[in-house]
Structure 1
């Protein structure tokens, strides 16, 4: 069956795709009917004792009620983040429909929204989903897998974001907003302990420095744990954690019209070992002359090149905000630095078959100027954006035991000791505007546009050091370019791209409780050059995506039920894919990055929060994603769309949770939250390897929280992945060369206890 036939058949009546959408619609219908009935009887019923909290978001760069924002967005408050013990961005995954977010092989944030993202960890390409820290775009995937420390809120926006945000992002955005300084002196201190010798301490203190003018806040968190895996080669735990994160901020408000907000932050991650994958297929061992078998336990590894993992980030951001009449002028100036050093064992064995090292330094400067205007009938967000990034990387392979398979069980020794030096500068200029007009009392129209110009300049050099006596990354770095190496490769290249990205939204306030919207928007991600070791420039073109969406947001039954839903269709062209192959003439390993084809996806999302009683709350989110490749080119320009599935695009994902609250009178209160999250079969590699694909699974979690009557003391007991499910999150298909497939597994069962004291 061709990709076009598969797409056509999936849309026929009675097929799974439409049936799934019908199920989601049916789930929403009873609540909507109840809302209509309630409109006629509200005055005759007593007021409920509890109601769902109104969530304010800044998704449109202006503070608005979540239920009035015509964007598919999930917002999690600091209270919810603490309740679910969200310690890093990856743990958001189960709480947001159609979000796939985990750490990759090289401390990189792998983020996919509605099947759109970027898998590669090397820094020459741009993320498919933008991550923002206090309105500052993070340019690299390293340093973007944030620890959640002293948050105010996290918002996840699904779909292209370009007419409201500084840097255009084709798949969506994850927006982390830290807690701001307060003019009231308050703070907290938390201590946490758990299995795997997990230890953590975090705290925050805020208060005025000058009454009514200057307030400060400082937060810090220290976390450590033993590794989840046992390394047979070293006899020690692998993939441990040792991190320190801090943030300091000042808020200066000399008048009611002007504010200056300064944030400084930093992080230092320095575990003993990097993350070693589990070998999922046998690999040939050149030293022993035989194949090394696969182990049964994915948390038992056997590797020798995982002795380094260092990640440091720091940044400063200054936001100036001036309000006059109905306008606001805002300036966001930011500078950030990132340093990363790692040794990765990508043969998953004690041999020196395929050890990879990567050293990266990055800095970025961004400047955003905004003009915001609002009156009774018009709302405007417009801005100018400038971004410049310098990225330096030095990396290669330490593989003296590398080999080339010749067939018939014959393996030819082919030692590789290589180094590559890449220096890249990325520059982006943009102007954007988003205008909302109130056409009538219930109806509004939003028109947005963005013009972007991006330029990339790269210098790439490579050398081979096998046979020279230089065998370490430090040694190669010291003599690189001196003439000691051989088999030189390299190129210098630059290219620019321009793009115009429009957006249109029609928003209809059907009733005071229900809003309906439809939208069309374009996403864009610039092209570039393959940053791995090549002898000539291998350019790739920009990606584009047209997204069509309809949705509704309702607060029903006297604010007892929040129901948000969306249907979407994405037309995705020129998507950029990283894949691994082998040169048919030489047998050499090839790492490719190229535009591979076209895809179309469609799906649905449902978010439901319902107060079933004064004590019991139901939380449900559900995502459905279908579609696939319409066109995909593989080796020798062969059409292989029928043989491939989209990466990190499970058909179903979601979570069902129940939260029960107990009033203990003078003893405080107790809440119990139990949940199950599900994800259907997920392909983790571009090759659609079934060996590495993760079958559908469910994870169970439990949270028990006690809070004192004065709300100063809180004790949280948590357990995640209670059944200790083994599941893959990430994979490397190196079956072409050196002939192995590698799996990276999600966290095993974890549990712990957290004690918090709040001062106010």
Structure 2
């Protein structure tokens, strides 16, 4: 009742603020010109030429600050640099940021991502489990990771904040935050159009246009993208490739030889429109709408382990470095009940947001961020990548999300800058699915023979209040403090139905209609101090806390597995420095950190203590134990002479359990999933005057050490991804006036075959493991017109 009342008050405050703003607009129009403000965040350059200033302005602490003046571990990339690096998604940006790992989901989450920063994140991408890293677009929080690998449609900049951000970001983002900011409408007409063609019939068109409808008053910006790319991994008919053997694929259509389909393709269409109303010099309202239709072929995967018992002695693995598998997405094959699911992952979503900025006086302002989003995700997974049926699942996530954030910011002379506010989040998730588990205990799959339909509604609500202040002790010394209180709840109802109608299998029937609830509250804080030794050198130190909410295991196969898990908590200590050296030709940012990591939430796939029989299927979110993390990070940008630019980043992280929950079976020396201990990246480009314009060759390299993908290691390390080094190259020609741009690029230049992630179910009852295949070498050519 109290949470609902607080929510209504927040909504009421937002509505009243908006009404007062419109009412006050005529009066405010008579006010004097506002005081000089900090430079606007990011850049606003449709020409997308290289940014030679090195200065990116960010808003990580609620105010516009130069990146080098922000006492946080933060990486930032503007739109022009992202284009130069051939970066088209948040995952691409993450490759060049220290301690950040974004990989495609491997556990049935479909077109979603597993996102980790400094070893903290979320390995299970099901929307019912909170992300450990918050993703924000134009300050709007996205509560689920499904569809989180957002296309960089028309970006101004991307900010990646490392470490707990609970007192700064909209929601309790304990591992860090990834914030994408789109270009905003301006009073300058213009825009750009870009066309790309490349490998696998890649056809892409993207562009944006800036339209001043009423000069200085009503401004519109519209951007859109369409992309088609054919899948790079072939699904083959085993019987066709191996004539005279069984099994044959019943009723499959062969489009080209023995191929029955592909994986890794995409058809994407997205549009975003932003309307800015400058109601006065002090009052601005921005309304944004976006629509995304992302239809993908299934996640490209290969069978890397199978038990001969269920294969009947047949070998369903394809050659080690071939882009192929024997997936059929067929359940109960060779029977009268045979069915086939579409080998697709699809996301359809739309959202609308309203951002009201009202400068009440020269030192007092209010900001209201209101947003609603609706998404529908369909994900299909053939968990054995073979013509048999060991594990086949379909998920459909229908999610509705509402967020409201209010911020009141002000300053007290030159002594204090402060912000207080509140945040409200509500989501309605319907977790639907069809789970078909034959198991790998018999030839062809069988032994468990469990099939059921899920229809689980899950409601989440979070309300918080926060305060943030920076005290300027002197013109060189600042002390920062932040405090946040969060109160949240989640309500679960488990529905289990029979695929053929009637009562569900007796082993799962006890879950049908069962309801559970999680609720909790938490205080978080941040204390930091920074000192500017000179105009070119600043150091800082901070301590910050964060948490990820608890809940009830959202993937129970049996009633005994529907058990609660506690919130995950962190306290992080960090010290860093930011420097501009040699007349700003060398820019460095470095930090070291130590983190206490408590009640770690991990997904285990063996939980006999909670199951009705040994080796029963299990996908259990549980508190694994306590650990410590420590590491160091460095980023740099070197511009020794005109036209030459070198950037680099590196991180080194160590993880060690201090204690583990003995019921999980996790050993003390286990690694944390998706944690690369070493990560290195770098890029070099040189802009050469040529042909009446400039030619810029660029080379980028990305290395990361191997990492585990499962909480519980196997004897053969099947769930571990090997180290990899990837190279990208790009050559760009720009006309002298920057109106035309022609570029060609190659990603994965050495055509390295690698696994981006793994799906390890090598234990009972599945006895199978898949590797999620990274993209091969791809080329593309683009032509861009700025106007």
* Residue pairs, 1:517-532, within 5 angstroms: 517-532=540-555
- Bigger mean CA deviation after superposition, 103-112 or 280-289: 280-289
Name the structure 2 match of 1:40.
none
Q: Distance in 1 between matches of 2:300 and 2:699?
A: 32
| 1:568 correspondence with 2:593 | yes
State the secondary structure of the residue aligned to 2:92: helix
Q: Distance in 2 between matches of 1:693 and 1:530?
A: 25
Q: Distance in 2 between matches of 1:749 and 1:707?
A: 25
Q: Distance in 2 between matches of 1:53 and 1:277?
A: 40
Which residue of 351, 354, 358 corresponds with 1:318?
354
Q: Distance in 1 between matches of 2:452 and 2:439?
A: 12
Name the structure 2 match of 1:147.
151
State the secondary structure of the residue aligned to 1:90: helix
Summarize deviations over 1:120-146 as a string: whole Å, max 9, x none.
021211001000011000011112111
Which residue of 513, 528, 534 corresponds with 1:505?
528
Q: Distance in 2 between matches of 1:670 and 1:411?
A: 58
Q: Distance in 2 between matches of 1:304 and 1:51?
A: 52
CA contact (8 A) 1:631 1:639 kept: no
RMSD: 1.9
Q: Distance in 2 between matches of 1:226 and 1:554?
A: 45
CA, structure 1 residues 276+609, in 2 after alignment: closer, same or farther (shift >3 Å)? closer
| 1:299 correspondence with 2:327 | no
Q: Distance in 1 between matches of 2:445 and 2:155?
A: 54
Q: Distance in 1 between matches of 2:410 and 2:328?
A: 59
Which residue of 161, 168, 186 corresponds with 2:172?
168
| 1:699 correspondence with 2:715 | no
Displacement of 1:340 after TM fit?
0.6
CA contact (8 A) 1:184 1:207 kept: yes
CA contact (8 A) 1:281 1:294 kept: no
Summarize deviations over 1:248-283 as a string: whole Å, max 9, x none.
010000211000000000110123x31142111124
| 1:621 correspondence with 2:649 | yes
Displacement of 1:640 after TM fit?
1.4
Summarize deviations over 1:321-377 as a string: whole Å, max 9, x none.
100220110111100011011211111111122111101100111111101113422
Displacement of 1:410 after TM fit?
12
CA contact (8 A) 1:192 1:199 kept: yes
Which residue of 415, 420, 442 corresponds with 1:382?
420
Which residue of 388, 394, 408 corresponds with 1:351?
388
Long gaps (5+) in structure 2: 1-50, 238-258, 330-341
Q: Distance in 2 between matches of 1:279 and 1:415?
A: 21
Name the structure 1 match of 2:103.
102
Name the structure 2 match of 1:266.
291
Q: Distance in 2 between matches of 1:721 and 1:402?
A: 37
CA contact (8 A) 2:604 2:664 kept: no
CA, structure 1 residues 653+131, in 2 after alignment: closer, same or farther (shift >3 Å)? same
Question: What's the TM-score, normalizing by structure 2?
Answer: 0.85
Long gaps (5+) in structure 1: 1-49, 471-478
Name the structure 2 match of 1:671.
696
Name the structure 2 match of 1:740.
768
State the secondary structure of the residue aligned to 2:125: coil
CA, structure 1 residues 289+725, in 2 after alignment: closer, same or farther (shift >3 Å)? closer
CA contact (8 A) 2:318 2:325 kept: no
Which residue of 659, 669, 683 corresponds with 2:685?
659
Displacement of 1:696 after TM fit?
2.0
State the secondary structure of the residue aligned to 1:79: helix
* Residue pairs, 1:14-29, within 5 angstroms: none
- Bigger mean CA deviation after superposition, 411-420 or 57-66: 411-420
State the secondary structure of the residue aligned to 1:544: strand
Displacement of 1:589 after TM fit?
1.2
Name the structure 2 match of 1:249.
274
Displacement of 1:415 after TM fit?
2.1
Displacement of 1:285 after TM fit?
6.4
Summarize deviations over 1:690-719 as a string: whole Å, max 9, x none.
223222221111111110011100011111
Question: What's the TM-score, normalizing by structure 1?
Answer: 0.88
State the secondary structure of the residue aligned to 1:187: strand
| 1:754 correspondence with 2:785 | no
Displacement of 1:55 after TM fit?
1.3
Q: Distance in 1 between matches of 2:295 and 2:645?
A: 40
| 1:446 correspondence with 2:480 | yes
